[in-house]
């Protein structure tokens, strides 16, 4: 026979346990908009591993924003888009309320309702109707709704370490302009500096495919095309891709100029470049910002030129990011997030005082000013912005002149537009195979990618 007191204790224990669990489950979704008009937003503008100086610069900009918008509190979260982690964050609902996605994913995300419609907020901006329409197309739905602001368009270039060039007896002011010269310089570097890879490419986490496609474009090839019936055909097994891989194979196995480590993604190749283990690698033209912030690269030691162009149809692969807002954010938070995007990303491009203020903040914290990019609006605006911040520029413009002087004469080619990241991931093992197996059968490996990807792309092509 149980005493009433004991029964009550048992019931109380069970109720407390369930209450505790209920409390746990309800604690996750905190409301950030309060009744007094104040709103808190989380922004993913801070890349992981940001050095203290860059963090300070960012913090100062947050303070400036909050001063201008006293009702908005900005909570920065570390965020860096990578193919694998993004999906997990998206599915798990752990993305910040403002984040960025690549050009290639924006259409799919807006069709799936995974990013917010911010048409009214964007149109309310002073320049809302003047945005570059062709660029805005990446973030605009078929019905004309706007889901993001494109930012930071880049073209693929060839990053190189000027210090290593000098140590190897090469002229850093005369970077290679053909793939043959890249190979020759890489060989010279690896022979004179045995622990340095003269040239390497990314191979992992979908970046292997990304860089292979960039080097394919530079040779005039395409990995996807539309046939006469409007159907998208995967064409990894094209002469330019074969040539790009054969060139890489020769560099690795004949010239021994690709080093010893062949499993590199965006982060790890940047680290290796920052550590002086790699002399040249293809990169986005804007990579210096991250290299300085996370990998201690000195702008004075950094050089950038265009990827060599050869063959008809050759061009530079271009891409970029779109600043977007979570559909789970409240309307007030979405409005605040667009204000943040405007302040943090767009104003330094179009407003002289903001541009100079931003450049001074970056300069004061040792961050690079004058990193090569492509115009968000048009070349006139781009050049004007550069002229405003010329006094603050700490990236020696001579080091990147080779890129800046040639990129506007090159054709710019967008990334493949269907199942881009999956295609890149399917190409990763091919690049790895070429670098780790002397007898890799390039054509057969590429044909296997065509076979693997065609049904997937056909399925998704019909969805469009």
Partner 1 sequence: MTAIDRTLSSQTMRGVRRRSPATWIRGGGLASLLFLLPMLFIFGIFSWYPIVKAVVMSFQSTNLVSAPTFVGWQNFISVFQDPQFGESIVNTAYFALLALIFGYPIPLIAAVLMSEVKRLRGLYAALAYLPVVVPPVVAILLWKFFYDASPTGVFNTLLASFHIAPQPWIENAAQAMPSIVLEATWAAAGSTVIIYLAALTGVSADLYDASEVDGAGIWKKIWHVTLPQLRGILLITFILQIIGTAQIFNEPFLMTDGGPNNATVTVLLLIYRYAFENSIGGGYGEATALSLMLAVFLAIISVVYFRITRSWSQN
Q: Which residues bind partner 1 (CB under 8 A)?
A: 1-2, 6-7, 10-11, 13-14, 17-18, 21, 83-88, 90-91, 102, 105, 108-109, 112-114, 194-195, 203-206, 259-263, 265, 277, 419, 421-422, 425, 428-430, 432-433, 435-437, 440, 448, 452
Least distance from partner 1 to the Cβ atom of residue 437, Å:
6
Least distance from partner 1 to the Cβ atom of residue 120, Å:
22
SS3 assignment, position 38: coil
Residues 151, 147: Cα–Cα separation, whole Å: 13
In the bound state with partner 1, the residue whose beta carbon lies nearer, of 154 and 403, is 154
Least distance from partner 1 to the Cβ atom of residue 458, Å:
14
Least distance from partner 1 to the Cβ atom of residue 203, Å:
7
The residues facing 327 across adjacent strands are none
Q: Which helix (H) or strand (E) holds 74?
A: strand 72-78
From the CB of residue 452, how many other CB atoms can be counted at a distance below 10 Å? 14
Between the alpha carbon of residue 334 and those of residues 74, 75, 405, 426, the distances in Å are 12, 14, 39, 36
Least distance from partner 1 to the Cβ atom of residue 147, Å:
14
Among residues 307, 271, 262, which one has the least CA distance to residue 440?
262
In the bound state with partner 1, the residue whose beta carbon lies nearer, of 109 and 240, is 109
In the bound state with partner 1, the residue whose beta carbon lies nearer, of 280 and 434, is 434
SS3 assignment, position 100: strand
Residues 138, 128: Cα–Cα separation, whole Å: 16
> Do residues 299 and 70 lie in contact, with contact meaning Cβ atoms separated by under 8 Å?
no
> Do residues 118 and 148 lie in contact, with contact meaning Cβ atoms separated by under 8 Å?
yes
The H-assigned helical ranges of 128-178 are 133-136, 162-167
In the bound state with partner 1, the residue whose beta carbon lies nearer, of 211 and 342, is 211
> Do residues 265 and 454 lie in contact, with contact meaning Cβ atoms separated by under 8 Å?
no
In the bound state with partner 1, the residue whose beta carbon lies nearer, of 263 and 356, is 263
Least distance from partner 1 to the Cβ atom of residue 378, Å:
30
Least distance from partner 1 to the Cβ atom of residue 426, Å:
9
Least distance from partner 1 to the Cβ atom of residue 405, Å:
34
* Pair of tokens at residue 258: 């690709």
Given the structure tokens 């004309």, which residue do they identify? 144
In the bound state with partner 1, the residue whose beta carbon lies nearer, of 366 and 429, is 429
In the bound state with partner 1, the residue whose beta carbon lies nearer, of 342 and 428, is 428
Residues 48, 45: Cα–Cα separation, whole Å: 10
In the bound state with partner 1, the residue whose beta carbon lies nearer, of 39 and 244, is 244
308: which DSSP letter?
P
């Amino acid at each position: 026979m149980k005493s009433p007191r004991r029964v009550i204790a048992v019931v109380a224990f069970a109720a407390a346990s369930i209450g505790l669990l209920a409390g746990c489950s309800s604690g996750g979704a905190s409301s950030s908009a309060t009744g007094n008009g104040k709103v808190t937003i989380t922004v993913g503008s801070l890349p992981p591993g940001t050095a203290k100086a860059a963090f300070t610069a960012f913090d100062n900009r947050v303070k400036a924003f909050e001063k201008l918008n006293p009702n908005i509190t900005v909570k920065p979260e570390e965020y860096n888009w990578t193919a694998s982690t993004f999906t997990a964050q998206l599915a798990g609902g752990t993305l910040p309320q403002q984040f960025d996605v690549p050009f290639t994913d924006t259409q799919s995300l807006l069709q799936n309702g995974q990013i917010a419609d911010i048409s009214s907020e964007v149109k309310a901006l002073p320049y809302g109707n003047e945005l570059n329409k062709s660029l805005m197309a990446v973030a605009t739905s078929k019905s004309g709704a706007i889901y993001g602001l494109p930012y930071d368009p880049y073209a693929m270039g060839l990053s190189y370490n000027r210090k290593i060039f000098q140590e190897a007896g090469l002229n850093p002011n005369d970077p290679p302009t053909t793939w043959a010269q890249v190979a020759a310089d890489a060989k010279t570097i690896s022979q004179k500096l045995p622990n340095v890879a003269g040239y390497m490419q990314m191979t992992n986490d979908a970046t292997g495919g990304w860089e292979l496609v960039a080097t394919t474009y530079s040779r005039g090839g395409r990995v996807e095309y539309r046939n006469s019936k409007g159907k998208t055909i995967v064409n990894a097994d094209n002469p330019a891709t074969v040539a790009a891989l054969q060139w890489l194979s020769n560099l690795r196995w004949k010239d021994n100029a690709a080093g010893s480590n062949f499993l590199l993604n965006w982060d790890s190749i940047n680290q290796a470049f920052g550590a002086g283990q790699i002399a040249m690698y293809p990169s986005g033209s804007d990579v210096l910002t991250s290299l300085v912030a996370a990998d201690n690269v000195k702008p004075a030691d950094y050089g950038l030129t265009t990827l060599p162009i050869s063959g008809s149809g050759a061009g530079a692969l271009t891409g970029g990011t779109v600043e977007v807002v979570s559909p789970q954010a409240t309307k007030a938070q979405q409005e605040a997030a667009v204000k943040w995007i405007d302040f943090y990303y767009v104003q330094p491009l179009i407003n002289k005082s903001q541009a100079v203020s931003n450049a001074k903040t970056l300069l004061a914290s040792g961050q690079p000013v004058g990193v090569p990019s492509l115009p968000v609006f048009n070349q006139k605006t781009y050049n004007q912005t550069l002229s405003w911040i010329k006094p603050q520029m700490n990236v020696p413009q001579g080091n990147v002149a080779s890129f800046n002087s040639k990129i506007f004469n090159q054709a710019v080619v967008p990334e493949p537009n269907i199942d881009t990241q999956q295609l890149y991931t399917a190409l990763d093992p091919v690049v790895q195979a070429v670098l780790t197996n002397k007898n890799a059968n390039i054509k057969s490996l590429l044909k296997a990618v065509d076979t693997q990807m065609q049904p997937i792309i056909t399925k998704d092509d019909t969805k469009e």
